[in-house]
Amino acid sequence: MGIFTRFKDIVASNISSMLDKAEDPEKLIKLMIREMEDTLIEIKSSCAITIASQKKVQRLMDDLLEKEAFWVQKAELAVKKGKDNLARQALQEKRRYTLKVETVEIELTELSIIVEQYQEDIQELENKLKSAREKQRLLLQRHIRATRKKRARQEIRRADSAEVIQKFEELENHIERMEAEADLVDYGKPSTLEEQFDALEADDEIEVELDRLKSSQSSKNSDTTDV
């Protein structure tokens, strides 16, 4: 059994209220839209059949009016020619078609009312279907937002977990060790400028030491000569 039992149920339905009470609004709106679409197809099909009948009856009406006019002309001609008896026969034929025209005219009026009602129903149902599709679009957007929000919440909880914090601490410790090792590589190593000045000082010390050795050697040689 469908959500709606007849067309009037669909038109009278409060879609928003139905969705608010539903356990699964998305599923319900899909079912509602499908039933509306099926109902709309049925109404359009019935309207098309009625319009076809209306056109057929209209053709019959045109034919009857044409024959009615034909016998009016014949009656006028008979009167003109002084053939009253013949004119009476023509008017009898004309009256026979006039009665048929009246009957068909009633049928045409009824068909026009039915077609007009169908067209109003179609318009009303299309408006309802448009509203339902808009609800479906909004529900889909809400679903997407809710899914993204849920995923974000899960990521936040995951980021707050002890395991993640521990991993961040391990990464931080690793980086600190790497920085310390980098500092040790250059630890105690003078800069290029410092090396240049150290070399100059070393040269001075070597020269002083060399002069001292020479002076000492010179003193020894002198003492040897005196002896």
What is the torsion angle, in degrees rounded to the nearest 10, for the CA atoms of residue 125, residue 131, residue 137 and residue 143?
A: -110
Cα dihedral sign, 13-16-22-26: positive
C-alpha neighbours within 13 Å on the C-beta side of residue 29: 22
DSSP codes of every residue in the chain: --S-SSHHHHHH--HHHHHHH-SSHHHHHHHHHHHHHHHHHHHHHHHHHHHHHHHHHHHHHHHHHHHHHHHHHHHHHHHHTT-HHHHHHHHHHHHHHHHHHHHHHHHHHHHHHHHHHHHHHHHHHHHHHHHHHHHHHHHHHHHHHHHHHHHHHHHHHHHTSHHHHHHHHHHHHHHHHHHHHHHHHTTTPPPHHHHHHHHHHHHHHHHHHHHHHHHHHHHHHHHHHH-
- Going residue by residue through the chain, which has 227 residues, state the pLDDT in tens, using 9 for 90 and above: 454 455 556 555 666 666 666 667 777 778 888 888 888 999 999 999 999 999 999 999 999 999 999 999 999 999 999 999 999 999 999 999 999 999 999 999 999 999 999 999 899 889 988 888 888 888 777 767 777 777 777 777 766 666 666 777 787 887 877 777 776 665 555 557 766 776 777 677 777 777 777 777 777 666 665 55
User: Which pLDDT belongs to residue 15?
Assistant: 65
User: Is 1.10.287 the CATH classification of the domain at 1-159?
Assistant: yes
Q: Please write the tens of the pLDDT for every residue from 37-56.
A: 888 999 999 999 999 999 99
Cα angle vertex 214, ends 210, 215, to 5°? 115
Instruction: Give the C-alpha separation, 55 to 61, whole Å.
Output: 10
First-to-last CA distance in the chain?
Answer: 142
* Domain parsing of the chain, residue ranges: 1-159
Q: Which two tokens stand for residue 45?
A: 């099909």
Q: Which two tokens stand for residue 69?
A: 């006019």
Cα dihedral sign, 5-9-14-15: positive
